[in-house]
């Protein structure tokens, strides 16, 4: 099984990042109250990607991107939206 190489800069932020992922994906219509890791399996199922727990080395890059790209893309969009709102709030000329 291949190890996850995604490292967060502040390991103590893991819980907050997981909660952010849940919040963003709930806005997309997904419901995950228990395990944020389940989000990727639900997205994969809806996308027709045969993602399973454990080894998934037989997935194509396109298949993996359908899952991770959808989740990560929505998270980035939400972060940009939050940053824009913060900038608007802090503008001295508004």
User: Is 49 exposed, middle or buried (CB count within 10 Å of its CB: 0-12, 13-18, 19+)?
Assistant: buried
Rounded to an integer, what distance in angstroms lies between the CA atom of residue 38 and that of residue 43? 9
Task: Rounding to the nearest 10 degrees, give the CA dihedral for residues 28, 86, 13, 47.
Answer: 20
Output the six-digit token pair for 80. Answer: 């940009």
74 or 89: which carries more pLDDT confidence?
74
* Domain boundaries of the chain, sorted by first residue: 11-90
Three-class DSSP category at 18: helix
The mean pLDDT of 72-89, rounded to a whole number, is: 95
1, pLDDT greater than 80: no
Three-class DSSP category at 75: helix
Query: 9-68: per-residue pLDDT in tens?
Result: 898 999 999 999 999 999 999 887 677 888 999 999 999 999 999 999 999 999 999 999
Three-class DSSP category at 83: helix
State the pLDDT at residue 22: 92
């Amino acid at each position: 099984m291949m190890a996850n190489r995604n490292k967060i800069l502040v390991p103590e932020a893991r819980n907050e990042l997981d909660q952010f992922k849940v919040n963003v994906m709930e806005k997309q219509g997904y419901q995950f109250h228990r395990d944020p890791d389940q989000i990727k399996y639900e997205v994969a199922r809806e996308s027709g990607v045969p993602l399973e727990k454990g080894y998934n080395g037989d997935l194509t890059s396109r298949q993996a991107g359908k899952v991770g790209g959808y989740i990560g893309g929505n998270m980035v969009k939400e972060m940009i939206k939050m940053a824009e709102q913060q900038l608007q709030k802090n503008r001295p000329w508004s």
